Amino acid sequence: MLNLLSQKTSGSFCDGVSRRSFLRIGGLGLGGLTFPQLLRAESEQGRGKSQKALILVYLPGGPPHQDMFDLKMDAPAEIRGEFSPIRTNVAGIQICEHLPRMARMADKFTFVRSVVGAKDRHESFQCVTGRLNDNVPPGGWPEIGSVVSKLQFGGTAVPNYVNLSQKMQHTPYNQGRTSFLGAAHAPFMPMGSVKDDMTLNGVTIERLADRRALLESFDGFRRETDASGAMTGVDAFTGQAFDILTSSRLLKALDLSGEDPKLRARYGKGTDKVQGDAAPRLNEQFLLARRLVEAGVRVVTISYSFWDWHGSNFKIAKDNLPDFDQAITALVQDLHDRGMDKDVSVLAWGEFGRSPRINPQGGRDHWPNVSCALLAGGGMKNGQVIGSTDRLGGEAAERPVHFQEIFATMYNNLGINPNTTTVPDLTGRPHYLVDGQFQPMKEVA
């Protein structure tokens, strides 16, 4: 929640600050630390200067790699499926016919066809931490956004890590867990049920479009605190925290009403209907993600649709793929148009792949042996395919790419050396960001 409590109450804190000026920032994930304490820590420890960012798109359920980026036209019919490949604007690369926008700008993407290291588990854990949920250290492995928050801190008007995902019915799909880095580095989560707790003097996220009400709320709060002298005696860090919460920078980033209607149409709407037991296909989340990183957020995560298609694989894919195609290509093109493609990395993937053989219900089952990932931006060398699978799409044939290699690449893109940087767990034991044998992918350097 993000509350500024301005109602009149009696009494004051021991430092003389009126209770009515108390800032509660639970939704920013500050846990036991007050925001002024965090700002003071930044000043003492030195805040990272990099403006690099990551937008991580989680596809809960496991997308079918054979029906997206790795079609197997030489395989038997029960393996091959119904879709045909189309040429892209990069010679020699073909992808699914239901991804035509992506095909027209394949030079801006990297298609990893040989992701390995997954487990048969319907959970987001590996996709957002790079780790298996086994033998975890006390407190649990941190998500990549939490690591970035711990190491680099962020801008002074926005949180470091924002998770735009709505709460999903299948609990392991959800992200935003605390870890051994503590609640101070958990993500700010403005969507779903949490958005009802995000208020600023009575202004909820649904009322952001009413700019007059928003400005009146800010102005009213400032007048009341100035008149009461509530800020008197507050040190510079508390004052900075106050400025952050009343700056409206985060709220403005979450307000799409000022965007060009043509740009919003380019991203599309998708649907707000929850898919399966996972997430809706909200295309405007991608636009929100771009606005947030533009405002200074370092890591934004999105959960998009539902990809566990044990039945009617091709019928459902015909609904999902066009929306995904529109949203992801609009995001990547938007980043290029704004000159942000060198600094902002985009990663889209699910927890595992799908079985080569189509089952009697017309679906594909879980397949942790190999899966796919889609990369863009980040100053990477894009317009290529990395890795390949065998004739049936069931095993990595050339250049297996481990989950942790992709994480090493994302950390590297963010300006963090994944092989020399450590973060301490609850016992003070340092942990490297990835295991020692995994390096950033040389192919995209």
Say whether pLDDT at 185 is over 90.
Answer: no
Say how far apart CA 282 and CA 113 lie, in whole Å.
26
Q: In this predicted model, what pLDDT tens digit does every residue of 363-411 receive, in sequence order?
A: 999 999 999 999 999 999 999 999 999 999 999 999 999 999 999 999 9
Q: Please state, for a pLDDT cut of 70, what percent of the chain lies above it.
A: 75
Say whether pLDDT at 86 is over 80.
Answer: yes
Of 120-134, 145-159, 184-198, which one has max mean pLDDT? 120-134
- Asked which of 61-65, 149-153, 418-422 is least confident by mean pLDDT, the reply is 149-153
Q: In this predicted model, what pLDDT tens digit does every residue of 99-112 receive, in sequence order?
A: 999 999 999 999 99
- Mean per-residue pLDDT, 262-278: 97
Going by C-alpha positions, the residue among 22, 63, 49, 84 that lies closest to residue 351 is 63
pLDDT tier for residue 159 given thresholds of 50, 70 and 90: confident
Q: How far apart are the first and last CA of the chain?
A: 40
pLDDT tier for residue 219 given thresholds of 50, 70 and 90: low
Residue 24 exposed, middle or buried by CB count within 10 Å (0-12, 13-18, 19+):
middle
Going by C-alpha positions, the residue among 92, 82, 129 that lies closest to residue 317 is 82
- Asked which of 64-78, 227-241, 354-368, 407-421 is least confident by mean pLDDT, the reply is 227-241
- Mean per-residue pLDDT, 290-307: 95
- Alpha carbon 221 to chain centroid distance? 32
Q: Give the model's pLDDT for residue 180.
A: 95
- Mean per-residue pLDDT, 308-328: 98
pTM for the predicted model, two decimal places: 0.82
Say whether pLDDT at 419 is over 60.
Answer: yes
Say whether pLDDT at 199 is over 80.
Answer: no
Say how far apart CA 295 and CA 225 lie, in whole Å.
26
Sequence-ordered list of residues with C-beta below 8 angstroms from that of 159, at least 6 positions apart, any chain:
28, 29, 149, 187, 188, 250, 297
Q: Give the model's pLDDT for residue 217.
A: 55
Reduce the secondary structure of 28-59 to three states and give it as a string: HCCCCCCHHHHHHHHHHHCCCCCCCEEEEEEC
Q: Give the model's pLDDT for residue 255.
A: 87
List the structure tokens of 439: 């390096």
Q: Give the model's pLDDT for residue 223.
A: 55
Q: Give the model's pLDDT for residue 248.
A: 67
Its sign, for the CA torsion 236, 240, 242, 247, is positive
Which one-letter amino acid corresponds to residue 370?
Answer: V
Q: Give the model's pLDDT for residue 252.
A: 84
- Asked which of 28-37, 48-57, 148-157, 298-307 is least confident by mean pLDDT, the reply is 28-37
Say how far apart CA 327 and CA 324 lie, in whole Å.
5
In the block, residue with structure tokens 């102005």: 219
Burial letters 269-286, b for 16+ CB under 10 A, else e: ebeeeebbebbbbbbbbb
- Asked which of 17-26, 118-127, 357-366, 426-435 is least confident by mean pLDDT, the reply is 17-26
Query: How many CB atoms within 10 Å of residue 126?
Result: 23
Q: In this predicted model, what pLDDT tens digit does every residue of 244-258 receive, in sequence order?
A: 455 567 778 888 988
Q: What is the mean pLDDT of the chain?
A: 83
**Structural domains of the chain ordered from first start:** 1-30+191-253 (no CATH), 50-182+258-444 (3.40.720)
